[in-house]
């Protein structure tokens, strides 16, 4: 994604007012999310030991920031990419019953990101995970959970409007659900990003189902690690995948805007299948994978919701650097400043 400079962009909130609004949005959103999904807050690690299989490897190509731990014989630790697998282990450790779960503030460093309006070296998100039953591992349960999260996002949009009446809501009443394969059939001549733009512009808010599975054109809509989201289980409508992305249409940038990646997690059968597809069967002996294959971890659904991205969207900012402190290429900072985009 290239840097987008909205024509005639004007600040709707001064930096100091933005800071206050960020605090209020974050506090209120996490409280309402916890109420909606029966979650309790837990403390999360900034880093985990390398070689345990606990860290999220995202698309499988991003390098984790790592360092030697002196007092552990220089054994290496790595900054988390997300807490997709760590959270599931915590559900088991705390014995959290189905229908209840946990959330945490996740902070990460993703050194391989291409920096632009939406992508930063610094990632902050609410990582959440909820225990479920075997009967919950279906498409309708996934959709119901998405609707609950979307309703909280809508609440926050109106909360911001009450505080700043010049920031008017833009989201539709309901979120549209579509399979990645259906999206391909609708727009066969477009790449995945182009398809996301077309469908999200049309409906305003979309949940794309089946991220990570190979489509009929032999490609994936987007990559997914094989060991957390279930993207291969065949659903009741004949498609594959119990996961997806929440996409919002961003009227400031005029582009599809991913706010959350989430899904029902792999069970024993799906993990075996996806490790084989991904050529990662050597992971079976890692701590997390072994526990899952031995059915010592609860079934779950979970995901991440970008904190800075949510604030950026709700406060109608043009760049994620307007709502978080990070570092940016000098040329990008210069271009932004020339166009009334002031990075923190």
Q: Please tell me which residue in 110, 137, 195, 309 is annotated as part of the active site.
A: 110
Known catalytic membership, residue 258: yes
110 classed as catalytic: yes
pLDDT at 85: 86
Residue 1 confidence (pLDDT) above 60: no
Digit-coded pLDDT (tens) for 227-278: 999 999 998 888 999 999 999 999 999 999 999 999 999 999 999 999 999 9
How far apart are alpha carbons 274 and 276 in whole angstroms? 5
Q: Which of 62, 105, 113, 258 is catalytic?
A: 258
Average of per-residue pLDDT values in the chain:
93
Residue with tokens 């309708």: 140
Taking the C-alpha atoms of residue 320 and residue 323, their distance in angstroms, rounded to an integer, is: 6
CATH code of the domain made up of 15-338:
3.30.930.10
Q: Is the dihedral of CA 320, 315, 206, 35 positive or negative?
A: positive
Range with the lowest mean pLDDT among 49-58, 93-102, 215-224?
A: 49-58
pLDDT-wise least confident of 21-25, 27-31, 40-44, 109-113: 109-113
The pLDDT of residue 57 is 66
Among the options 82, 131, 179, 261, which is catalytic?
261
Least Cα distance to 263 among 130, 94, 104, 82 occurs for: 130
Q: Which of 125, 274, 300, 307 is catalytic?
A: 125
- As a 3-state breakdown, the chain gives helix, strand, coil percent values, each rounded to 5, of 35, 20, 40
Q: Are the C-beta atoms of 306 and 314 separated by less than 8 Å?
A: no
179 is a catalytic site residue: no
Q: Given the DSSP bridges, would you call strands 176-179 and 205-209 parallel, antiparallel or unpaired? A: parallel
Tell me the mean pLDDT in the region 91-115: 92
Marked catalytic residue, from 21, 32, 56, 82: 56
Q: Does 157 qualify as catalytic in the annotation?
A: no
Question: How far is the CA of 91 from the CAs of 104, 268, 330, in angstroms?
Answer: 12, 16, 43
Closest CA to 267 of 297, 288, 243, 237: 297
Nearest one of 128, 225, 246, 112 to 177, comparing CA atoms: 246
pLDDT tens per residue across span 158-201: 999 999 999 999 999 999 999 999 999 999 999 999 999 999 99
Query: Would the pTM of this model clear 0.85, i.e. be above it?
Result: yes
State the pLDDT at residue 60: 59
**Most confident of the following: 12-21, 46-55, 311-320:** 311-320
H helix runs in the chain, sequence order: 15-37, 84-94, 139-163, 180-186, 192-203, 268-278, 287-293, 307-314, 330-338
Mean pLDDT of 309-328: 95
| 127 labelled catalytic | no
- Whether 223 has a pLDDT exceeding 80, the answer reads yes
- Across the range 311-324, mean pLDDT stands at 96
Output the pLDDT for position 299: 97
> Hey, where are the domains in the chain?
15-338
245 is catalytic: yes
Select which of 196, 245, 267, 322 is catalytic: 245
User: What is the per-residue pLDDT across 26-78, written as a single tens digit (0 to 9) for each?
Assistant: 999 999 999 999 999 999 888 988 877 777 766 656 788 889 999 999 999 98
CA dist 4 and 252 (Å) reads 10
Query: Helices 139-163 and 15-37, interaxial angle, to 10°?
Result: 150
| Bigger pLDDT: 3 vs 38 | 38
Of 300, 322, 325, which is closest to residue 242 (Cα–Cα)?
Answer: 300
């Amino acid at each position: 994604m290239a840097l987008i400079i909205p024509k005639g962009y004007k600040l709707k909130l001064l930096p100091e007012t933005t800071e206050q609004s960020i605090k209020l949005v974050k506090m209120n959103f996490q409280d309402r999310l916890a109420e909606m999904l029966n979650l309790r807050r837990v403390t999360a690690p900034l880093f985990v030991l390398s070689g345990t299989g606990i860290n999220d490897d995202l698309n499988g190509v991003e390098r984790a920031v790592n360092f030697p731990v002196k007092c552990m014989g220089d054994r290496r630790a790595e900054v988390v990419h997300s807490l997709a697998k760590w959270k599931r282990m915590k559900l088991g450790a705390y014995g959290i019953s189905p229908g209840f779960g946990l959330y945490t503030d996740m902070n990460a460093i993703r050194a391989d990101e291409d920096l632009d309006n939406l992508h930063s070296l610094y990632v902050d998100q609410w990582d959440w995970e909820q225990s479920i039953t075997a009967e919950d591992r279906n498409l309708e349960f996934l959709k119901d959970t998405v609707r609950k999260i979307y309703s909280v996002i809508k609440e926050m949009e109106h909360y911001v409007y009450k505080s700043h009446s010049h920031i008017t809501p833009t989201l539709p009443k309901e979120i549209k659900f579509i399979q990645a394969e259906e999206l391909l059939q609708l727009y066969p001549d477009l790449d995945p990003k182009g398809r996301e733009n077309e469908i999200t512009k049309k409906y305003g808010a979309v949940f794309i189902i089946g991220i990570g599975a190979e489509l009929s054109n032999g490609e994936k809509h987007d990559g997914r690690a094989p060991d957390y989201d279930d993207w291969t289980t065949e659903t009741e409508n004949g498609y594959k995948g119990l996961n997806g992305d929440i996409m919002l249409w961003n009227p400031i940038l005029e582009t599809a805007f991913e706010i959350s990646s989430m899904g029902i997690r792999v069970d024993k059968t799906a993990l075996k299948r996806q490790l084989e597809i991904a050529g990662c069967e050597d992971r079976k002996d890692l701590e997390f994978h072994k526990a899952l294959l031995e059915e010592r971890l609860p079934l779950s659904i979970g995901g991440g919701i970008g904190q800075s991205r949510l604030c950026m969207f709700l406060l109608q900012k043009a760049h994620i650097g307007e709502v978080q402190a990070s570092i940016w290429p000098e040329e990008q900072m210069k271009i932004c400043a020339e166009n009334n985009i002031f990075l923190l």
